[in-house]
């Protein structure tokens, strides 16, 4: 059966071509189709996607006006995906290493109870500690992972959708897999996530220049938002199960849910967390006042 590859692309006109050109080597002879989920780009990413789609019948370009990865994930799984033996999810700013798709598929064969398979980082200054965390926690990295076709069908049948606006779909999906797609407090189902030890992804590390420093600042803010999101959202899911998943992530931020949260105390995150918490509380107060 043909593999289905979902590429998330938001303002990736520069790096998306590298991702697409790496797919044949990653598939290592396996048949695949590609769905580029371009979402809310303000650069030429949509044009790049259409150009590649016009040149290769295996590639399909989809435009979503909302720049939101979780929404793009929902659109792919529930509207675009269809049936496939394996669904590969990859960010448009990374490159799958040679044989990585084949290795993900082999991981499913070796672990028949698994719903998802994780790839590992091949580049990056913290790649060893990053890979160790994925192994230890049986987690997925959003850069590159795969979902078994039968698991994708279960997600559709149960109408499981990620909250629009949520940060870190890989963490939410990992939690869902480890709870057997039920939510709740029992997250011991490590058999649901296999680690494909021969599947890798590559990316360009940030450099000391104006553009990359801006990327780094945005990344810290995104990680900060995810830190607070995780504390509130997971508490909700552990208490109410998967049925407690909100449609939009902004609904979880209330004056009450934010009241007990505090910034992390390490010097890298403290000031970013403080500003993010201030922003979240102001947004929550504004919504409460509007009601």
Same domain, 237 and 285: yes
Same domain, 175 and 49: yes
Q: Dihedral (C-alpha) 60, 63, 68, 70: value to the nearest 10 degrees?
A: -40
Please give the model's pTM, rounded to 2 decimal places: 0.94
Same domain, 78 and 155: yes
Give the three-class secondary structure for 269.
coil
pLDDT the model gives residue 166: 97
Q: What is the CATH number of the domain that holds 111?
A: 3.90.550.10
Q: Last residue of a domain, which of 186, 202, 218?
A: 202
Q: Last residue of a domain, which of 202, 237, 261?
A: 202
Domain that holds residue 286: 210-290
Same domain, 112 and 256: no
Same domain, 65 and 103: yes
Same domain, 141 and 273: no
Integer angstrom CA distances of residue 32 from 28, 78, 85, 209, 238: 10, 19, 10, 37, 37
pLDDT the model gives residue 189: 97
pLDDT the model gives residue 197: 93
Same domain, 175 and 81: yes
Residue 180 backbone class (left: φ over 0; alpha: ψ -120 to 50; beta: rest): left
pLDDT the model gives residue 229: 97
Same domain, 84 and 178: yes
pLDDT the model gives residue 206: 57
Q: Which residues of the chain have pLDDT under 50?
A: none
Q: Last residue of a domain, which of 202, 232, 260?
A: 202
Domain tally, the chain:
2
Same domain, 69 and 140: yes
Alpha helices, DSSP H only, in 138-254? 149-157, 169-178, 210-240
pLDDT the model gives residue 124: 67
pLDDT the model gives residue 129: 83
Same domain, 45 and 173: yes
Tell me which H or E stretch contains 109.
helix 100-110
pLDDT the model gives residue 137: 84
Same domain, 50 and 150: yes
């Amino acid at each position: 059966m043909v593999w289905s590859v979902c590429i998330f692309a938001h303002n990736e006109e520069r790096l998306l071509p590298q991702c697409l050109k790496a797919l044949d080597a990653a598939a290592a002879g396996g048949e695949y189709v590609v769905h580029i989920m371009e979402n809310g780009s303000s650069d030429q990413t949509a044009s790049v996607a259409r150009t590649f789609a016009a040149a290769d019948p295996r590639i399909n370009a989809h435009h979503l006006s909302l720049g939101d990865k979780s929404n793009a994930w929902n659109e792919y799984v529930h509207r675009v995906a269809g049936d496939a033996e394996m669904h590969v999810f990859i960010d448009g700013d990374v490159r799958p290493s040679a044989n990585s798709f084949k290795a993900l598929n082999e991981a499913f064969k070796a672990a028949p109870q698994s719903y998802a398979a994780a790839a590992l980082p091949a580049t990056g200054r913290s790649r060893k500690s990053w890979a160790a965390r994925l192994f230890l926690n049986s987690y997925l990295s959003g850069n590159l992972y795969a979902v078994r076709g039968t698991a994708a069908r279960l997600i559709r049948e149960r109408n499981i959708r990620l909250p629009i606006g949520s940060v870190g779909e890989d963490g939410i999906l990992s939690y869902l897999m480890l709870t057997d797609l039920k939510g709740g407090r029992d997250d011991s189902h490590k058999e649901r996530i296999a680690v494909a030890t021969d599947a890798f992804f590559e990316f360009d590390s940030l450099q000391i220049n104006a553009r990359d420093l801006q990327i780094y600042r945005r990344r810290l803010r995104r990680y900060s938002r995810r830190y607070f999101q995780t504390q509130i959202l997971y508490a909700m899911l552990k208490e109410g199960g998967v049925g407690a998943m909100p449609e939009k992530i902004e609904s979880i931020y209330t004056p009450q849910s934010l009241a007990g949260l505090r910034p992390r105390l390490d010097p890298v995150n403290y000031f970013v967390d403080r500003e993010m918490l201030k922003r979240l509380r102001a947004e929550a107060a504004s919504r409460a006042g509007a009601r």
